[in-house]
Amino acid sequence: MPAIEAMREFVVAAQSAAAGIAETDPMKPIANGIARDLGEANGDVFAAMGKINDLQNAFNFTMQANATLMENPALAAIA
């Protein structure tokens, strides 16, 4: 299977997965973003994986920042 065809199938799978997530699920925007970014890569596997890596880095940064904030004793009063 050529890479571009495999990429198209991967995009369809990502779009189907995103569509199957409930609108109230906090992961819905992430799934939609992944599906959108993969679709915009126009069959370029390296560009698609670069976009996924950027999303993963942003997600990891956000999760670490949230964990740090939750451990801050100055913010315990509003938790």
Q: Which residues does the chain have with pLDDT short of 70?
A: 1, 79
Taking phi first (over 0 means left), then psi (-120 to 50 degrees means alpha), and beta for anything else, what does residue 61 get? alpha
Tell me the pTM: 0.63
DSSP string, 18-60: HHTS-TT-TTHHHHHHHHHHHHHTTT-HHHHHHHHHHHHHHHH
Every domain of the chain and the residues it spans: 3-78
At 1 the pLDDT is: 65
Both tokens of 12, joined, read 């369809």
Query: Tens digit of pLDDT for each residue in 30-40?
Result: 899 889 888 88
At 61 the pLDDT is: 93
CA angle 32–35–37, rounded 5-degree value: 105
At 19 the pLDDT is: 95
